């Protein structure tokens, strides 16, 4: 803003549009709670995503029936696999690789986790919300300071494990999550751009 000498009052934030219409939203909390206790994570296997903390959190879960499905590829996978072996939970983790269309993954999960150290935006968080599943971790901006998901301290496996446990045991009403996801839907974002253009042209 300083480089462009722009006034803060003239800055407008419009979010990325997400294809939430492609989601397969869960019908209700009862249906969600009936799913297997599956936790999913999506994204490249790089240090910034901090999958190590997620694996440590899974090892701390009191319920040993929970499984972690990791979608993505990257240079960290060998080290992460070794960590899972050392912690004794390698048999509870599926390395699913890259998927071009992740909607089926969300539709089968009971909980989504983002353990990243930082995120520019986090499309996967909106995708999870659009599927109606509880979100653990992620940008406070998308989750509205925790209204639509659980915020946890970065790099804290104990806090992350506690939050995952709560999400699995009490997945909650998907309705508010679905409503929040539509704030990022393509028609919603397009309408905001059109409103901005009209405001500029009429000034």
| CA distance readout (Å), 42 to 68, 72, 75, 125, 169 | 11, 6, 15, 9, 21
Domains along the chain? 20-202 (3.40.50.2000)
The predicted-structure confidence for 119-130, as pLDDT tens digits, reads as follows: 888 999 999 999
The predicted-structure confidence for 39-67, as pLDDT tens digits, reads as follows: 999 999 999 999 999 999 999 999 999 99
What is d(CA 25, CA 105) in angstroms, rounded to the nearest whole number? 12
DSSP assignment of 74-124 equals -TTHHHHHHHHHHHT-GGGEEEEE--S--HHHHHH-SEEE---S--SS-HH
The angle at the Cα of 68, spanning 74 to 35, to the nearest 5 degrees, equals 140
Q: How confident is the model at residue 2 (pLDDT cuts 50, 70, 90)?
A: low
Q: How confident is the model at residue 8 (pLDDT cuts 50, 70, 90)?
A: confident
The angle at the Cα of 175, spanning 96 to 143, to the nearest 5 degrees, equals 65
State whether residue 40 is helix, strand or coil: strand
| pTM of the complete model | 0.93
* Whether residue 6 has pLDDT greater than 80: no
Q: Mean of the per-residue pLDDT values for the chain?
A: 94
């Amino acid at each position: 803003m300083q480089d462009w000498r722009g006034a803060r009052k003239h800055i407008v934030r419009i979010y990325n549009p997400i294809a939430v219409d492609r989601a397969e939203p869960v019908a209700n909390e009862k249906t969600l709670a009936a799913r297997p206790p599956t936790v999913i994570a999506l994204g490249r296997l790089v240090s910034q995503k901090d999958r190590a903390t997620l694996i440590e959190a899974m090892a701390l879960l009191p319920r040993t029936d929970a499984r972690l499905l990791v979608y993505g590829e990257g240079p960290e996978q060998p080290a992460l696999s070794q960590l899972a072996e050392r912690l004794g939970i390698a048999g509870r983790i599926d390395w699913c690789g890259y998927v071009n269309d992740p909607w089926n993954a969300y539709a089968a999960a009971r909980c989504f986790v983002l353990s990243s150290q930082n995120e520019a935006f986090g499309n996967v968080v909106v995708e999870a919300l659009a599927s109606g599943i509880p979100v653990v971790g992620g940008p406070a901006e998308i989750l509205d300071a925790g209204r639509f998901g659980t915020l946890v301290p970065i790099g804290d496996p104990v806090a992350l494990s506690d939050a995952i446990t709560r999400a699995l045991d009490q997945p909650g009403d998907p309705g508010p999550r679905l409503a929040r996801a539509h704030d990022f839907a393509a028609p919603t974002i397009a309408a905001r751009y059109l409103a901005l253009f009209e405001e500029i042209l009429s000034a």
